[in-house]
Copies of this chain bind each other. A is one copy, B any other.
Amino acid sequence: MTPKAEQVPVLRADAARNRARVLQAAREQLAAGDDSLQLNTIARLAGVGVGTVYRHFPNRLALMEALSAERFRELVAEARAAADDEDALAGLHRLLRFTLGRALEDTGFASVLESASDTEPETAALKAELDRAVAQLLDRALLTGAVRRDLGPGDVRRLLCGIEHALRSGDYDEARRELYLDVLLEGLRPPR
Protein backbone atom coordinates (compact mmCIF):
# COMPACT_ATOMS: atom_id res chain seq x y z
CA MET A 1 0.00 0.00 0.00
CA THR A 2 1.41 3.34 -0.94
CA PRO A 3 1.42 5.72 1.96
CA LYS A 4 -1.14 7.97 0.33
CA ALA A 5 -2.58 7.84 -3.16
CA GLU A 6 -3.34 11.27 -4.56
CA GLN A 7 -7.03 11.64 -3.95
CA VAL A 8 -7.07 15.06 -5.57
CA PRO A 9 -6.61 15.40 -9.36
CA VAL A 10 -3.49 17.57 -8.96
CA LEU A 11 -4.21 21.27 -9.21
CA ARG A 12 -2.75 23.66 -11.66
CA ALA A 13 -0.19 25.91 -10.03
CA ASP A 14 -2.40 29.00 -9.97
CA ALA A 15 -5.43 27.05 -8.83
CA ALA A 16 -3.43 25.63 -5.97
CA ARG A 17 -2.25 29.08 -5.01
CA ASN A 18 -5.79 30.40 -4.95
CA ARG A 19 -7.04 27.45 -2.98
CA ALA A 20 -4.33 28.06 -0.44
CA ARG A 21 -5.17 31.73 -0.25
CA VAL A 22 -8.79 30.95 0.40
CA LEU A 23 -7.92 28.51 3.13
CA GLN A 24 -5.58 31.04 4.64
CA ALA A 25 -8.21 33.75 4.61
CA ALA A 26 -10.70 31.39 6.17
CA ARG A 27 -8.25 30.50 8.90
CA GLU A 28 -7.73 34.14 9.65
CA GLN A 29 -11.45 34.73 9.88
CA LEU A 30 -11.85 31.91 12.33
CA ALA A 31 -8.89 33.10 14.33
CA ALA A 32 -10.52 36.52 14.47
CA GLY A 33 -13.50 34.88 16.11
CA ASP A 34 -15.83 34.97 13.16
CA ASP A 35 -17.04 31.47 12.49
CA SER A 36 -19.74 32.39 10.01
CA LEU A 37 -17.40 31.50 7.14
CA GLN A 38 -19.24 33.52 4.56
CA LEU A 39 -17.89 32.58 1.19
CA ASN A 40 -18.26 36.13 -0.12
CA THR A 41 -16.24 37.58 2.70
CA ILE A 42 -13.59 34.93 2.46
CA ALA A 43 -13.28 35.64 -1.23
CA ARG A 44 -12.77 39.31 -0.62
CA LEU A 45 -10.19 38.71 2.07
CA ALA A 46 -8.40 36.21 -0.09
CA GLY A 47 -8.30 38.70 -2.94
CA VAL A 48 -10.08 36.24 -5.16
CA GLY A 49 -13.40 36.17 -7.01
CA VAL A 50 -16.40 34.62 -5.32
CA GLY A 51 -16.66 32.14 -8.13
CA THR A 52 -13.22 30.87 -7.34
CA VAL A 53 -14.18 30.14 -3.80
CA TYR A 54 -17.32 28.35 -4.98
CA ARG A 55 -15.32 26.32 -7.44
CA HIS A 56 -13.04 25.04 -4.73
CA PHE A 57 -15.59 24.76 -1.97
CA PRO A 58 -19.23 24.42 -2.86
CA ASN A 59 -20.35 25.46 0.63
CA ARG A 60 -19.34 26.37 4.15
CA LEU A 61 -19.08 22.78 5.22
CA ALA A 62 -16.73 21.78 2.46
CA LEU A 63 -14.50 24.68 3.36
CA MET A 64 -14.59 23.81 7.03
CA GLU A 65 -13.70 20.24 6.31
CA ALA A 66 -10.83 21.27 4.11
CA LEU A 67 -9.57 23.48 6.89
CA SER A 68 -9.79 20.56 9.24
CA ALA A 69 -7.90 18.16 7.03
CA GLU A 70 -4.53 19.49 8.03
CA ARG A 71 -5.45 19.40 11.68
CA PHE A 72 -6.62 15.85 11.29
CA ARG A 73 -3.32 14.77 9.83
CA GLU A 74 -1.49 16.27 12.76
CA LEU A 75 -3.86 14.54 15.09
CA VAL A 76 -3.45 11.18 13.46
CA ALA A 77 0.30 11.48 13.83
CA GLU A 78 -0.12 12.35 17.48
CA ALA A 79 -2.51 9.47 18.02
CA ARG A 80 -0.07 7.03 16.47
CA ALA A 81 2.73 8.29 18.61
CA ALA A 82 0.48 7.89 21.61
CA ALA A 83 -0.43 4.38 20.62
CA ASP A 84 3.29 3.56 20.57
CA ASP A 85 3.87 5.03 23.98
CA GLU A 86 5.09 2.64 26.67
CA ASP A 87 2.53 3.97 29.05
CA ALA A 88 -0.79 3.84 27.24
CA LEU A 89 -2.57 5.96 29.81
CA ALA A 90 0.06 8.66 29.62
CA GLY A 91 -0.26 8.56 25.86
CA LEU A 92 -3.98 9.00 26.09
CA HIS A 93 -3.54 11.96 28.40
CA ARG A 94 -1.16 13.61 26.02
CA LEU A 95 -3.39 12.97 23.04
CA LEU A 96 -6.50 14.34 24.69
CA ARG A 97 -4.71 17.41 25.95
CA PHE A 98 -3.33 18.03 22.51
CA THR A 99 -6.70 17.55 20.83
CA LEU A 100 -8.48 19.73 23.32
CA GLY A 101 -6.04 22.50 22.58
CA ARG A 102 -6.67 22.29 18.86
CA ALA A 103 -10.41 22.12 19.28
CA LEU A 104 -10.43 25.17 21.51
CA GLU A 105 -8.34 27.09 19.01
CA ASP A 106 -10.56 26.25 16.10
CA THR A 107 -14.33 25.93 16.37
CA GLY A 108 -14.59 24.65 12.86
CA PHE A 109 -12.26 21.81 13.56
CA ALA A 110 -14.13 20.99 16.73
CA SER A 111 -17.40 20.73 14.92
CA VAL A 112 -15.98 18.53 12.19
CA LEU A 113 -14.34 16.39 14.82
CA GLU A 114 -17.56 15.71 16.64
CA SER A 115 -19.82 15.54 13.61
CA ALA A 116 -21.28 12.18 12.69
CA SER A 117 -21.76 12.93 9.00
CA ASP A 118 -19.06 14.24 6.73
CA THR A 119 -19.47 15.74 3.30
CA GLU A 120 -16.00 15.26 1.92
CA PRO A 121 -14.79 11.71 1.52
CA GLU A 122 -11.35 12.84 2.58
CA THR A 123 -12.70 13.95 5.93
CA ALA A 124 -14.39 10.65 6.49
CA ALA A 125 -11.18 8.84 5.62
CA LEU A 126 -9.09 10.93 7.98
CA LYS A 127 -11.57 10.53 10.75
CA ALA A 128 -11.59 6.79 10.27
CA GLU A 129 -7.81 6.78 10.37
CA LEU A 130 -7.85 8.75 13.57
CA ASP A 131 -10.39 6.44 15.11
CA ARG A 132 -8.28 3.43 14.20
CA ALA A 133 -5.27 4.86 15.94
CA VAL A 134 -7.32 5.76 18.99
CA ALA A 135 -8.87 2.30 19.02
CA GLN A 136 -5.39 0.81 19.22
CA LEU A 137 -4.52 3.16 22.00
CA LEU A 138 -7.64 2.21 23.90
CA ASP A 139 -6.92 -1.48 23.38
CA ARG A 140 -3.50 -1.10 24.85
CA ALA A 141 -4.81 0.91 27.74
CA LEU A 142 -7.38 -1.79 28.39
CA LEU A 143 -4.60 -4.30 29.04
CA THR A 144 -3.51 -2.36 32.07
CA GLY A 145 -7.04 -1.71 33.15
CA ALA A 146 -6.57 1.98 32.60
CA VAL A 147 -9.85 2.67 30.77
CA ARG A 148 -13.42 1.43 30.65
CA ARG A 149 -14.08 -1.25 28.09
CA ASP A 150 -17.42 0.15 26.97
CA LEU A 151 -16.07 3.20 25.19
CA GLY A 152 -15.04 3.34 21.55
CA PRO A 153 -12.93 5.93 19.79
CA GLY A 154 -16.05 7.76 18.61
CA ASP A 155 -17.20 8.12 22.18
CA VAL A 156 -13.87 9.48 23.23
CA ARG A 157 -13.95 11.97 20.37
CA ARG A 158 -17.38 13.17 21.28
CA LEU A 159 -16.77 13.29 25.00
CA LEU A 160 -13.71 15.38 24.43
CA CYS A 161 -15.72 17.75 22.29
CA GLY A 162 -18.23 17.85 25.11
CA ILE A 163 -15.47 19.04 27.43
CA GLU A 164 -14.41 21.57 24.87
CA HIS A 165 -17.98 22.79 24.67
CA ALA A 166 -18.21 23.05 28.44
CA LEU A 167 -15.06 25.14 28.54
CA ARG A 168 -16.07 27.36 25.71
CA SER A 169 -19.42 28.13 27.25
CA GLY A 170 -17.77 29.65 30.31
CA ASP A 171 -14.75 31.84 30.81
CA TYR A 172 -12.03 29.28 30.85
CA ASP A 173 -8.46 29.66 31.93
CA GLU A 174 -5.55 27.28 31.90
CA ALA A 175 -6.49 25.85 35.27
CA ARG A 176 -10.07 25.09 34.35
CA ARG A 177 -8.89 23.49 31.17
CA GLU A 178 -6.74 21.08 33.12
CA LEU A 179 -9.51 20.56 35.58
CA TYR A 180 -12.13 19.57 33.03
CA LEU A 181 -9.62 17.43 31.20
CA ASP A 182 -8.88 15.67 34.41
CA VAL A 183 -12.56 15.09 35.05
CA LEU A 184 -12.79 13.47 31.66
CA LEU A 185 -9.73 11.33 32.14
CA GLU A 186 -10.96 10.11 35.50
CA GLY A 187 -14.32 9.45 33.96
CA LEU A 188 -12.77 7.30 31.26
CA ARG A 189 -11.22 4.97 33.86
CA PRO A 190 -13.16 1.89 34.79
CA PRO A 191 -15.70 2.65 37.50
CA ARG A 192 -14.53 1.58 40.95
Q: Does A183 contact B (CB under 8 A)?
A: yes
Interface size of A in residues (CB-CB distance below 8 Å): 33
Chain B residues with Cβ below 8 Å from A116 are 169-171
A165-B155 contact in complex given A184-B187, A186-B186, A192-B192, C-beta closer than 8 Å: no
Q: Does A115 contact B (CB under 8 A)?
A: yes
Q: Does A179 contact B (CB under 8 A)?
A: yes
Q: Does A182 contact B (CB under 8 A)?
A: yes
Q: Does A161 contact B (CB under 8 A)?
A: yes
* 17 examples of A-B residue contacts, CB within 8 angstroms: A114-B165, A116-B170, A148-B183, A150-B179, A151-B179, A154-B170, A155-B166, A158-B169, A161-B169, A165-B165, A165-B166, A182-B187, A183-B184, A183-B187, A183-B188, A186-B187, A186-B192
